[in-house]
Amino acid sequence: MTATAPREEQLWSRCAGCATLLYRKRLRRNLDVCPECGVHARLGAPDRLRQLADPGSFRPLPDRPVDVDPIGFVDVVPYPHRITAARAGTGLAEAVLCGTAALGGHPAVLAVMDFRFLGGSLGCAVGELITRAAERALDDRAPLILVTASGGARMQEGVLSLMQMATVSQAVAALREAGLLTISVLTDPTYGGVAASFATNTDVVIAESGARMGFAGPRVIRQVTGRALPEGFQTADFLLRHGQVDMVVPRRALRGRLVALLAATRAGRAPAAATQRIPVPATRPAVPRQPAGGAPGPTAADPWATVRLARHPGRPTSLDYLDAAFDGFVELHGDRLGGDCPAVVGGPALLAGRPVMVIGHQKGHTTAELVARNFGMASPAGHRKALRLMRLAARLGLPVVTLVDTPGADPGVGAEEQGQAAAIAENILALTVLPTPVVAVVTGEGGSGGALALAVADRVLMLQHAVYSVISPEGCAAILWPDRSAAPEAARALRLTAPDLHRLGVVDEIVPEPAGGAHDDPDATARTLGDAVRDALLPLLDVPAATLVRRRRQRFRRFGAAGIGARTGAR
């Protein structure tokens, strides 16, 4: 609905679907659904809660969001100014409201996102609040209902916003293990890192009529592919036809459907022993690896220059590393569901004589190779192939080594039709509970959720001239600056280099490269990488599986706002 006056003062609203002028009180009585054409207007979190919860039953959680500005981000205005403006405009402290409530008399914990607050973006505070809501559900033995409305991860918090995808996903995994029901309600819009994590890895996924959901947004897909999009692309009905949601429910029936689900699943309860909250650890990042000869470790360079080095066509690929740093690699193909993505390679190999499962993104050096490998951008089949190999490694007792080098996941129409967001979400979820050691190495580009799908690990290493970011500098500049020519400035603001991420605790160790970059001496880089992976892996081999999983969860739990605030100080 469109209007000029503040919404609460409007007498009339014009429907964005059919342009009918509607009396505001009548529209409110109809739950902000146009009675003429059925278009569902977006709701703020308070309105959504009033519609879903039993009257007077909602109790906000006592947790207040911690103000964090972890990377000191500035585009045309400083990030704290954007937060202040969002709070003034919405009356909310953050982009999510969390609390306990009853639906039809059935207790539940709700986390309801609000798109009005910085596009419902997922930052450290939002991730912390939703995680605490999940932990409250675990403590109360209650179902968790997530109502999503988001454009994705919050760019202004850099790669730390990306970490929230894993933090919240592992909280959902804990509820799964405890036998507690989790439900996500997709509302319009749900995209990016939210779609590729907790919005799609719950037990039941409901789409409200008119909702749109996907990993990449329509504008990005049109820009990348140059193709017109199919009619109804990424809408609720499209998602239902392609098997990505359990049901599509109009707003008026949504509360009743949730009540019916809670009633039907109320009997199932797991032993209370399964409910254990993951504490927020006070951990200290490792010291960067020192080059041979005792020379100083890697130093920060201009971030835009580092981006260009990370994208250099001569930079070693995963297959190059498998040939030079590993022995006996046997490539395995296929996701066993009908596809084999060439952007992901993997299979068993030997590292210093020890069997491991290696999975990596594969780009190429020539234009023909890059096109054939889709520039290292994995399709859903690629993520599912990686998932199959991870699970195979767990069954065989093999450690997993991942090599991350992708601009991001495939943003094409076909990828969305095949469930790109859910495929990434399932990988993140599986890695949080994989009962075998996992070491990840960012070797080139670590782009958004496509990178995180292989990087939820016990130890995360990063080559000196690699980059790891929530969004590309060009994409960030196009959204937050007047034009894409500000990409170098965006690269500096995103704090995407190895030294930046080591200081933030995202990366445990920086692996040095030859002076001009890995492409100057690929063999030497491969030897250094192999030694670094071996040294990172050895201490993990004797750790019991349960301890390994617990520590991995603790690692990502510290990326909530409480952990970030403790390390960087609230700004």
The Cα–Cα gap between 492 and 430 comes to: 33
* 18 annotated to a ligand binding site: yes
Q: Provide the strand spans (E) within 438-519.
A: 438-447, 459-463, 467-469, 509-511
Q: How far is CA 374 from CA 251, 313, 371, 379, 410, in A?
A: 39, 14, 5, 9, 8
Tell me the one-letter amino acid at 106.
Answer: H
Half-sphere CA count of 547, side-chain side, radius 13 A: 6
Angle between helices 473-480 and 487-494 (to 10 degrees): 100
* 98 annotated to a ligand binding site: no
* 341 annotated to a ligand binding site: no
* 15 annotated to a ligand binding site: yes
Query: Coil, strand or helix: which one is 259?
Result: helix
DSSP tag of 40: B
Alpha helices in 248-366 (DSSP H): 251-264, 303-310, 318-324
The Cα–Cα gap between 243 and 237 comes to: 10
Question: Which residue reads 């190495």 in tokens?
Answer: 441
Q: Provide the phi-psi class of 38: left if phi over 0, else alpha when psi is between -120 and 50, else beta.
A: left
Length in residues, the chain: 571
Are the C-beta atoms of 150 and 113 separated by less than 8 Å? yes
DSSP tag of 32: T
Q: Known binding site: residues?
A: 15, 18, 34, 37
Binding site for Zn(2+): what residues are annotated?
15, 18, 34, 37
